[in-house]
Amino acid sequence: MSFLKEIKRRRTFGIISHPDAGKTTLTEKLLLFGGAIQEAGAVKNNKIKKGATSDFMEIERQRGISVATSVLAFIYKDKKINILDTPGHKDFAEDTFRTLTAVDSVIVVIDVAKGVEEQTEKLVEVCRMRKIPMIVFINKMDREGKDAFDLLDEVEQKLGLRVTPLSFPIGMGYDFKGIYNIYGKKINLFSGDNKQTVSAGVEFTDISTPELDGIIGGKAAETLREELELVTEVYPDFNKEEYLNGDLQPVFFGSALNNFGVKELLDCFIEIAPTPQPKKSEERLIDSKEEKLTGFVFKIHANMDPNHRNRLAFIKIVSGTFKRNAPYLHVRLNKKMKFSSPNAFFAEKKEIVDESFPGDIVGIQDTGNFKIGDTLTEGENLNFKGIPSFSPEHFRYVNNADPLKSKQLYKGLDQLMDEGVAQLFTLDLNGRKIIGTVGALQYEVIQYRLEHEYGAKCSYENLPVHKACWVEPQDPKNEEFKEFKRVKQRFLAKDKQGQLVFLADSSFTIQMTQSKYPSVKLHFTSEFN
């Protein structure tokens, strides 16, 4: 198959939502329809020992939440689909923000009962800023929840989106009868007994036929006709160009747990979703159709296999063909590297691939050469922007709870911090280590993984820090900067890259410091944009 045909076959997207909206369940069902798995594992049900395919870390199975982005790929109707299932929990938002740099489009999952929630608002804002095309999937229609029109209004107002429904529910909760697929002009009827396998619905092309009354009942049929008339009057017609430009968001209704509405979503998605898109680097715009390889690391995962202490760097291919054993330039280190066993993913199952194309995610065994944001090319000096580290919200001293295992502890911390799970700061004054995270749940994950993957134990001590500010002096040699360093000595630390960080105990301290030392700039992200 030619290079351009391979690009046209690719669809790379992320699934985002608030925790518990059913994101991981939707991922499971997409795999089910893609024939990638035969049976879906209930994410929350511990009686079924089969966990969700995309939640493959032990702690995820115990908690029933996703704590790391997982990458899954499958073929559906000759399209190669790459899904990045992201954590919904706000404590892991940074992983999700980074993942959004590697996707070409997004599916936003919303719970019918809870509507638009806070975490969804933040993530959608990032997508809107980046003009990422979005499809909205309103989930759990088999439960009692908000009225369909109320939900559409809420999505428009709270998320600032312009929506158009491409499917519409017939009833809800106990009265949920099925879905009218506006895009495909047919009706699928719901039977609540097809949770684990795929079953075909009944198709109708003409909703004015009296036959419809016989199947879903006269009252439901009348309501559906009225609601569809209202939909055509109130909402704009679907326009693919507007969707691809991020100006119009199609909405689907369904129940992922019951496999309902998922096929409609997938069938429409592969038709309308964008193929791999051009990406901006600091130097120029890279077109996905360029023949020379470019790609960047958007995630690092330590310990994919605890027995081998290995790390995987996840690389999004932006242009060209990634070939096994071909030499590529690691731009930051300015050295050529070859990769003998690049992996393609199916959750934790990996297979070695000989070549990958734009839109694909490749996993590379890494011994510590890669950092998040690194670029690979065939020789050109390029850097992709937009993967900063944010200032953490929580700070704690980390103490070694088992002095005999200090080597394992430092190795574990080193590798986990490379993943971007959290940030490590070392105090200038006494060398004590501080972990900063976006959410408190991260500390549990770090403690758990240190013990179970590295055999090291740690304890924490609270630290009253409000924000980590990266320090950028106008002139490192001037007196003002020297005085700043002397006065603030107790609060200065280095991050993992050796950059100077000021750990401020309040927003008042930050204001005072900035007015007292105007030539010393303080930043809340490590990439000074």
Interatomic CA distance for residues 440 and 381, integer angstroms: 38
| DSSP codes, 6-62 | HHHHEEEEEEEESTTSSHHHHHHHHHHHTTS-SSPPPSS-TTS-S--TT--SHHHHH
Nearest to 123 by CA among 16, 245, 246, 251: 16
Among 100, 147, 92, CA closest to 124:
100
Binding residues for GTP: 17-24, 85-89, 139-142
The DSSP secondary-structure symbol of 255 reads B
Check if the beta carbon of residue 268 is closer than 8 Å to that of residue 276.
no
| Beta strand 105-111 pairing with 10-17 | parallel
* Cα 512–Cα 515–Cα 519 angle in degrees, nearest 5: 125
C-alpha–C-alpha distance, residues 489 and 427, integer Å: 9
In 3-state terms the chain splits into helix, strand, coil percentages (rounded to 5) of 30, 30, 40
- Binding-site sequence positions: 17-24, 85-89, 139-142
DSSP code for 90: G
**Please, are residues 71 and 27 in contact by the beta-carbon 8 Å criterion?**
no
Reduced to 3 states, what is the DSSP secondary structure of residue 402? coil
Question: What sign for the dihedral angle of Cα 300, 439, 30, 61?
Answer: positive
The candidate with the shortest Cα–Cα distance to 179, out of 249, 252, 229, is: 252
Of 199, 197, 170, 198, which is closest to residue 186 (Cα–Cα)? 170
In sequence order, the β-bridge partners of residue 366 are: 311
Report yes or no: 199 and 258 within 8 Å, Cβ to Cβ. Answer: no
